[in-house]
């Protein structure tokens, strides 16, 4: 009887332990479709399957939140690529958001800084915000080492891409952003597009005018002298 009791109790405890683990894993899979990380001291960092690390930092981010980064694929990625046409290549799109203890989305309203690792795959990296209506807004970014960062105050879709076009880059190597104002984004810089309206004129029009004037004065002087000579001879 004693041997029977000893053999039952370990099995019961082991079964309970396994049940707890399965329940936890199942809850995590159902409630979080992306890659989460706990907010601690206003910051968190998660690593995606392709090795990209995504970090967030914000003074007003409360502990206990879950920072979630979901790489977008399929139809959603195709839609974002269509919205990004002509703006960038090698596009990686993400849904970036937060969850509270109840599993509900927590909307940030104050600035947070999000950073992506570049892994040496982007020469002119750029980040765009994509609204629900498909409008895109280029974020003001900064590049330090192998990391690109931007500041926002809005949970949404963001796309990391290789910049196309002839836009100038700043001293830090990051492309200048477009003017902010949609999607709750924080301030962005002015566009780096270069137009031909301000290009300098070639030649010196002032010098040409001076010599043309001198030639006219000389012609008048010679004509006057010729008339005076004729009168004297007459």
Query: Which stretches of the chain are assigned E, i.e. beta strand?
Result: 35-38, 43-47, 53-57, 66-71, 88-99, 112-117, 125-130, 136-138, 141-144, 147-152, 156-163
Q: How much is the pTM?
A: 0.60
* Residue range 33-163, CATH number: 2.60.220
**Tokens coding 65:** 């939140």
pLDDT tens string 116-155: 999 888 999 999 999 999 999 999 999 999 999 999 998 9
Beta bridge partners of 175: 169
Instruction: Judge residue 138's burial from the number of C-beta atoms within 10 Å of its C-beta, 0-12 exposed, 13-18 middle, 19 or more buried.
Output: buried
**What gap in Å lies between CA 88 and CA 162, rounded to an integer?**
5
Lookup result for tokens 């940030």: 108
**What gap in Å lies between CA 21 and CA 176, rounded to an integer?**
48
More confident residue, 113 or 8: 113
Domains of the chain, by residue range, sit at: 33-163
pLDDT of residue 166: 61
pLDDT tens string 81-118: 999 999 999 999 999 999 998 899 999 999 999 999 99
pLDDT of residue 27: 33
3-state DSSP assignment of residue 137: strand
Angle at alpha carbon of residue 27, lines to 21 and 28, rounded to 5°: 90
**What gap in Å lies between CA 143 and CA 130, rounded to an integer?**
21
pLDDT tens string 166-209: 654 433 333 333 333 334 444 433 333 333 333 334 444 455 66
Angle at alpha carbon of residue 144, lines to 141 and 145, rounded to 5°: 140
DSSP state of 49: T
147-to-53, 116, 118, 152, 153 alpha-carbon distances in Å: 9, 6, 6, 16, 20
**CA torsion through residues 57, 155, 148, 32, sign:** positive
For the chain, what is the radius of gyration of the CA atoms? 34
Local confidence band at 232 (pLDDT 50, 70, 90 cut-offs): low
């Amino acid at each position: 009887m004693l041997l029977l009791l000893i053999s039952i109790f370990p099995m019961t405890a082991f079964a309970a332990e396994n049940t707890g683990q399965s329940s936890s894993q199942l809850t995590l899979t159902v409630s979080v479709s992306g890659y989460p990380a706990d907010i601690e001291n206003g910051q968190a960092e998660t690593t995606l399957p392709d090795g990209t690390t995504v970090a967030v930092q914000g003074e007003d981010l409360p502990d206990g939140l879950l920072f979630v980064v979901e790489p977008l694929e399929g139809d959603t990625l195709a839609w974002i690529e269509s919205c990004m046409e002509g703006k960038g290549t090698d596009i990686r799109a993400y849904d970036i958001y937060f969850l509270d203890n109840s599993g509900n989305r927590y909307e940030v309203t104050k600035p947070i800084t999000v950073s992506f690792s570049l892994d040496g795959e982007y020469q002119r990296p750029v980040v765009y915000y994509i609204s629900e209506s498909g409008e895109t807004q280029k974020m003001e970014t900064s590049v330090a080492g192998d990391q690109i960062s931007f500041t926002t105050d809005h949970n949404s879709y963001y796309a990391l891409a290789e910049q196309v076009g002839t836009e100038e880059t700043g001293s830090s190597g990051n492309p200048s952003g477009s003017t902010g104002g949609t999607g709750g984004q924080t301030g962005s810089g002015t566009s780096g597009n270069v137009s031909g309206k301000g290009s300098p004129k070639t030649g010196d029009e002032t010098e040409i005018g001076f010599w043309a004037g001198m030639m006219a004065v000389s012609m008048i002087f010679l004509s006057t002298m010729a008339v005076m000579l004729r009168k004297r001879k007459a």
